[in-house]
A and B are shown apart, each in its own frame.
Chain A
């Protein structure tokens, strides 16, 4: 997939989560997503960035604008060096949470994106790769 543009942001604080949302909004607009899709992507970004901050102990977000013949997409990578997720299937289930949330973060984000992959190694960290095509 040819990457047209890449931005990287640190996710270290609650205001970084807001910065990620705002950047993702701008990129989604540039990619030509309609308002509902923009909202889906920004909401997913917010959920994933918060997971990186709250469960991964902070990390970074990489936002990529993708172009393929006939379609445009947005890819979001969230990486941390936190404790990792022992059971990914369980983490994706609605209502499952180890923290203070509703447990809708990962599962909800997966519903809002076309494709969401999680790689995690206990003790090493987690990498969430989410894409939505227009």
Chain B
């Protein structure tokens, strides 16, 4: 829909661009949002000037926020939000950068509005717009932070449950700590992946370091054992504590088709036998 009458904000951004930019940068310097310790004045000048141009183009394009011009504004803000985060700005600093534009626009808006009613309406729509854009930088910062947290959680998960090779064709997964359903699922998927990578025929899942299991975790364990069998490998579960054995029976989880051993050593002995290795004590003369 073409605008019948250009908004006062559009006129201000067009006619008073130079003055607005100058006033805005001065406000930023004075208000502490500029952070000269983190950013050169020339870079601040560039960012401010670029933002004003994009904003002007978007305001001219109309108020519907899904157009290409508004997309460019948001993309620019997302870009500086992450570049500023890397420079050490806080999300508050970045939001303040956008919010500080209000003051610079205010005077010009009043001059060009004429009557008070028009000014009130223009002021309201400008404030709403700037607030919206400032909030957008905050949500971008939050999303970035969430991504970092998720990645760190994944990395911790990988670190906390290494799949180790015990012998040719034998893998072990020593699990430590409380198992929740999500963690068990991730760990089991990586175990199956390692089985393919290493060509291991037997995998031992040792749960000596696991205090309790619930139904879901027990079901994930059984699922893994079954999936490994479909791939052509066998799983042995070792280190089941008496409490866990009791829980498994109480929960009615069927482990009859799963090899279980009391200790990792017992499981290893079984695994060696399954892979065709013989185990015996060396006689005196063979000892080094």
Contacts and interface: CB of A to CB of B under 8 A. Distances in A.
A70 B189 contact: no
Nearest to B188: A36
A38 to B, nearest CB: 12
A36 B189 contact: yes
Contacts of B139: 69
B74 to A, nearest CB: 14
Interface string B136-171: 000100010010000000000000000000000000
A36 B189 CA distance: 8
A67 to B, nearest CB: 12
Nearest to B193: A35
A69 B146 CA distance: 12
B121 to A, nearest CB: 30
Interface residues of B, number: 4
Contacts of A36: 189
Nearest to A34: B189
4 contacts: A36-B189, A69-B139, A70-B143, A70-B146
Interface of B: 139, 143, 146, 189
A70 B143 CA distance: 8
Contacts of B146: 70
A24 to B, nearest CB: 20
CB-based closest 4 A-B pairs = A36-B189, A70-B146, A70-B143, A69-B139
B191 to A, nearest CB: 12
Contacts of B189: 36
Interface string A69-100: 11000000000000000000000000000000
A70 B146 CA distance: 9
Nearest to A70: B146
Interface in A109-123: none
Interface in A32-85: 36, 69-70
Nearest to A36: B189
Nearest to B189: A36
B227 to A, nearest CB: 10
A70 B139 CA distance: 11
Nearest to B146: A70
A36 B139 CA distance: 30
A82 B105 CA distance: 63
A70 B144 CA distance: 11
B196 to A, nearest CB: 12
Nearest to A69: B139
B155 to A, nearest CB: 15
A36 B196 CA distance: 14
Nearest to B192: A36
B276 to A, nearest CB: 31
A43 B35 CA distance: 54
A107 B146 CA distance: 34
A39 to B, nearest CB: 11
A121 to B, nearest CB: 36
A69 B139 CA distance: 10
A119 B127 CA distance: 47
A36 B143 CA distance: 25
A31 B143 CA distance: 17
B144 to A, nearest CB: 13
B220 to A, nearest CB: 12
Contacts of A70: 143, 146
A36 B191 CA distance: 13
Contacts of A69: 139
Contacts of B143: 70
